[in-house]
Amino acid sequence: MAAERYDALKREKHWQTAWEERGIFRAFEDDPRPKYYVLEMFPYPSGRIHMGHVRNYTMGDVIARYMRAKGHNVLHPMGWDGFGLPAENAAIERGGHPAKSTYDNIAVMRDQLKGLGLSLDWTREFATCDLDYYHQQQRLFLDLLKAGLVDRKTRKVNWDPIDRTVLANEQVIDGRGWRSGALVEQREQPEWVFKITDYAEDLLQALGGLEHWPEKVRLMQANWIGRSEGLLVRFAIEGGAVPKDHDLIEVFTTRPDTLFGASFLAIAPDHPLAKAIAEENLDAAAFIDACHHHGTSAAALETQEKKGLDTGLRVLHPLIEGAELPVFIANFVVMEYGTGAIFGCPAHDQRDLEFARAEGLPVIPVVLPPGEDPKCFTIGEEAYTGDGTMINSGFLDGLTVAAAKDAVADHLAKTKLKGRPVGERHTQYRLRDWGISRQRYWGCPIPMIHCSSCGIVPVPESDLPVKLPGDVSFDRPGHPLDRHPTWKHVTCPRCGGAATRETDTMDTFVDSSWYFARFCSPKSGEPTDLKATGYWLPVDQYIGGVEHAILHLLYARFFTRAMLKTGHVAIDEPFRGLFTQGMVTHETYKDVHGKWLLPEEVTRKDGRQVHAKTGEPVTVGAVESMSKSKKNVVDPESIIGAYGADTARWFMLSDTPPERDIEWSAAGAEGAHRFLQRVWRLVGEAAVKGAALSAAKPSSFGPEAEALRRAAHRSVAAVTGAIEKLRFNTAVAQIYELANVLSACLQNAEPHVQSDTAYAVREAAELLVRIAAPMVPHLAEEAWARLGHETLIAEEPWPAPETALFLEETVTIAVQVNGKRRDELTIARDAAKEDIEAAALKLDNVVRAIGGRKIKKVVVVPQRIVNVVA
């Protein structure tokens, strides 16, 4: 049979046009079907799509197409995370304007995505850098401001004195600016923050309700929020030269039970008290300065020795009459957590112990581990952090750790210091407020105005949008908005006097914190349309990289709550279902000179990898995530150009579970393509050998036809279940199996025979095409047409398996002797236990294995197994 090859390149374009002309992926709210919102994390317009996008968007598309076939009204939109640093850096390095490069990139990537045949509603497309989008975002900002969710806080930032700009942490390399190489200074700078900490408890608690999120992500978020319960303790400063306005030190502790073992207090170098001391005390000033100059990288902190400076101040021990504790400034105490001050109990905290040993401070054990003798228990190099019984602790002696915590809290709550309780129960969170200020041009301007007489005032809503000026230059250091000749100069909306605009723009995480809501009504004159969001939200299935497990998802959860509070949505959790897919990896290659090589520069010769041009040997390195620096990248466009989009899609879904990293290989891509060609041939054969489209279903089927039908319907059921669970790799395997069965059947079939087999062949081919359609939609359309249909498969309902076929009359079960499989038995599926047992014991292999021993017991699990214990 002259089977022509399927010309993916030509036909894919054709079907994409057909879908577009029919507008079948457009979503409308007035639809009686149940809604389903599938969303993949939208891309940053970097210029070209990469394999990670292909994987992400293919998965989302399978779900979208499947749910559509299942009778849902599906919303599947796409847009662009348009603002951000790379576009601005490109403008600085190569000239041009971020807006131009961004929109150029979007145009290219839109075409590339369209080439993948994704079932997207492109009429809803927008970019976050569109004036309309950031206009609405400025309105949201003002509403959040009114609702008390915006604050101004002083933050330490990385300041590059040469580029005169603030650097992100990842732009600081070894303490120097990534571009200028200048030593980065820590600067305190007022910044705009969103008060995410107001929702710390809610964001933590609500994680429990996110059943369709990966446990891993919920855990990461919980750890990030970092709730811990403890006690706030106020120590009165008594001895030493006490600076003005500092007569007590507040400390947060989770171990109030160890208070009797305290031997010092330590405050952070950035603690206000430390600063006050430094003004008088040169040693303290020098010490603090040294702390600032020590690297803040994780590695530097890791190896840093615990050092402190005795301030000479003394505080009163709140529980021991007359006892005093020295106050140190210590390098291991951070200002960012708790109160920036601790009390040190060396016996039961490793850090405190190391510090105490270095400073020669007493180490008094107060918790006795179970089974230890209080008379000889001492602390060596390791602090004891476990549970036990209180000792050396006055009224706490004999209590458990938990009881002692309560006893101290109760006691100190009643003790007063300057009219306030000495101890207060307190819940501390690691989560900090979300700083959204960026000293950058290419972002959403923060709509505020600084007036010398009125202070900071919001831009009136009627004056919005605050539009980014187009005429800016990037050829000089500094902030383009700040040095623009006219842009920032305005009149104060309150007093009419001269004032200046806020030149900070918003963190791009703000842009991505509500885009999913904007997709519901992308053209609305309001940020959101309550009717539209009420219909579509929450997102039923959100898919993206695990690298966004914490920040993006936490910010979006917060922002949704903020939008609820300000009346812009009616829900608090934006994403009902979340799936985090793995990365795309590839082997790495180096040539004889140790230079990285692109996969396309490497070829196989005599079973070895060699350089395609020179023939020189190539070193094959580790399989790693695709990255430009290691050159182990494959451009999706080259794959689509060579094999078509369906091949790339099929590969991405095959073999590897979607949450794991997938290794791209040329051989695998060829394999995927071969299979699609095979499906095309099978369908061609089935169109000839199978029954006519109009053929009636025979009233009965012979064994061969019955077996094919059973296999086909089993595959339908299995693929349905697999897609529902997002286990695309097993869905693919099921489709392979059905193709194998159909293929074997076609070998024996005669052309144009109107028989039960012919009917089963057509049915199996059609089912094969229909269940493969969400994954390889173009090929499926082509095959559907080849089978004589005039409809679009994209508009066909999902097939329902005939489950009655699964109930075979006989079943085959394994027969074990002493737990080892010895034979198998085919028997009526409803056979009685006794009959199964009798039949099993007659099997030759079973008799031999028993070897004349006495049968102690026979376990019979009908339809599953027989185990003879002898």
730 binds RNA (CB under 7 A): yes
Is the Cβ of residue 58 or residue 101 nearer to RNA in the bound state?
58
- Taking alpha carbons only, the member of 237, 243, 422 closest to residue 326 is 237
Q: Which two tokens stand for residue 19?
A: 């879908």
Q: Which two tokens stand for residue 444?
A: 């959403």
**Smallest separation, CB 3 to RNA (Å):** 8
Is residue 134 within 8 A of residue 444, CB to CB? The reply is: yes
Per-residue binding string, RNA, 228-267, x by CB under 7 A, is x-x---------------------xxxx------------
22 binds RNA (CB under 7 A): no
Per-residue binding string, RNA, 273-312, x by CB under 7 A, is -------------------------x--xx-x-x------
**Smallest separation, CB 325 to RNA (Å):** 14
**Smallest separation, CB 31 to RNA (Å):** 34
Candidate list 376, 667, 696, 804; residue touching RNA; CB under 7 A? 667
736 binds RNA (CB under 7 A): yes
Q: Using CB under 7 A, which residues numbered 831 to 870 contact RNA?
A: 845, 848-849, 857, 859, 861, 864-865, 867, 869
Find the distance separating the first CA and the last CA of the chain, reported in whole Å. Answer: 58
Candidate list 142, 268, 597, 767; residue touching RNA; CB under 7 A? 268
Q: What is the 3-state secondary structure (H, E, C) of 781-793?
A: HHHHHHCCCCCCH
CA 509 to chain centre: 14
Q: Interface with RNA by CB under 7 A: which range of 89-97, 225-233, 515-523, 532-540?
A: 225-233
Buried b (16+ CB within 10 A) or exposed e, 175-203: bbbbbbebebeeeeeebbbbbbbbbbeeb
Size of the site for RNA (CB under 7 A): 86
Is the Cβ of residue 524 or residue 677 nearer to RNA in the bound state?
677
Handedness of CA 530, 533, 538, 543 (dihedral sign): negative
Q: Helices (H) and strands (E) in the chain — how many of each?
A: 26, 37
Q: Which residues contact 501 (CB under 8 A, 6 or more apart)?
A: 445, 448, 449, 450, 459, 466, 481, 487, 488, 489, 490
Q: Interface with RNA by CB under 7 A: which range of 163-171, 211-219, 369-377, 790-798?
A: 211-219
**Smallest separation, CB 237 to RNA (Å):** 19
Q: Using CB under 7 A, which residues numbered 80 to 139 contact RNA?
A: none
CA distances from 766 to 168, 325, 733 (A): 55, 83, 18
Q: What are phi and psi of 542, to 5 degrees?
A: -110, 135
Candidate list 336, 808, 830, 834; residue touching RNA; CB under 7 A? 336
223 binds RNA (CB under 7 A): yes
What is the distance between the alpha carbons of residues 782 and 644, in angstroms, rounded to a whole number? 13
Is the Cβ of residue 473 or residue 810 nearer to RNA in the bound state?
810
Is the Cβ of residue 24 or residue 805 nearer to RNA in the bound state?
805
Q: What are phi and psi of 29, to 5 degrees?
A: -80, -30
Q: Using CB under 7 A, which residues numbered 669 to 698 contact RNA?
A: 670-671, 674-675, 677-678, 681
Candidate list 656, 715, 720, 757; residue touching RNA; CB under 7 A? 656
The number of beta carbons lying within 10 Å of the beta carbon of residue 776 is 28
**Smallest separation, CB 674 to RNA (Å):** 4
Is the Cβ of residue 292 or residue 489 nearer to RNA in the bound state?
292
Q: Using CB under 7 A, which residues numbered 566 to 605 contact RNA?
A: none
**Smallest separation, CB 786 to RNA (Å):** 17
Q: Using CB under 7 A, which residues numbered 390 to 449 contact RNA?
A: 428, 430
- Taking alpha carbons only, the member of 328, 378, 317 closest to residue 355 is 328
337 binds RNA (CB under 7 A): yes
CA 791 to chain centre: 39
720 binds RNA (CB under 7 A): no
Q: Using CB under 7 A, which residues numbered 737 to 776 contact RNA?
A: 737, 740, 743-744, 747
Q: Which two tokens stand for residue 381?
A: 């190099």
Read off the DSSP letter of residue 381: S
Is residue 478 within 8 A of residue 164, CB to CB? The reply is: yes
Candidate list 90, 92, 200, 342; residue touching RNA; CB under 7 A? 342
Is the Cβ of residue 271 or residue 440 nearer to RNA in the bound state?
271
Q: Using CB under 7 A, which residues numbered 527 to 566 contact RNA?
A: 546, 550
Handedness of CA 310, 316, 317, 318 (dihedral sign): negative
